[in-house]
Amino acid sequence: MKSNKKRITTIALSAAMMFSAVAAPAALNSAGLIKTNSFVNELSANAAYATNVVYTVNVSSGVNVRSSRSTANSSNIRGTAPYGADCIITSVVGSWGYTSRIRCGNGFKSGWIYLPNLKQGWPCKITASSLRLRKNPGSTASSNTTLTYIPRNTIVVITGSKKYANSVWLKTSYAGHTGWICFYDQNGQYAIGVSDNGTEF
């Protein structure tokens, strides 16, 4: 349990940064990608399900965690993980993935989850009052199309990251649009990572 939690928290981009002298979070490598084996950068929709990476619940009603790979009845349901809960999938059989720890309404549970209900990535909560989802990363100019606005406290799933001279941008989807949000720049930080137990970091 401890090792899984440690691996999940290594995905975090530090929220304790001094913006008077902005520096890239240590979690980013020189290419601007999150440097951890638990993060998969921009997997294609047809990519095979990977193991030992972070998956996040991507269904608003949550997903069932089961003791076996069957939906024939409800007797094998151990709990229901809510939207935004994340876990590490360590084994994949067909479209089912096994995790030893995921947050459910009745506590942390282990079991099998139907993978099409999950998204590879990590959850992030918007802390700005309203954050622009832009077509391209790296620029806040009006020429960089605003696709939509994401309200404060919305949790989105991050599937990619890019670092620029004084900013870091995160790829996500919201309200039917896929684009980029500014995680931080010289003026401040606009989102914060959320761990699998709801703790902000």
The answer, as to whether pTM is greater than 0.75, is no
- pLDDT, average across residues 90-113: 93
Q: What phi and psi, each to the nearest 5 degrees, are found at residue 157?
A: -100, 125
Q: How many CB atoms lie within 10 A of CB 64?
A: 18
Instruction: Write down the mean pLDDT value for the chain.
Output: 76
pLDDT digits (tens, 9 = 90+) for 47-91: 568 777 778 898 999 999 999 999 998 999 999 999 988 888 889
Tokens linked to 53: 């990476």
* Residue in this structure with the two tokens 């619940």, named with its chain if needed: 57
The DSSP secondary structure of 86-137, one letter per residue, reads EEEE-EEETTEEEEEEEEETTEEEEEEEEGGGEEESEEEEE-SSEEEEESSS
Confidence of residue 7 (pLDDT cuts 50, 70, 90): very low
Tens of pLDDT along 132-143? 999 999 999 999
Q: What whole-number distance in Å separates Cα of residue 38 and Cα of residue 54? A: 5
146-167 mean pLDDT: 88
Q: d(Cα 180, Cα 14) in Å, to the nearest integer?
A: 19
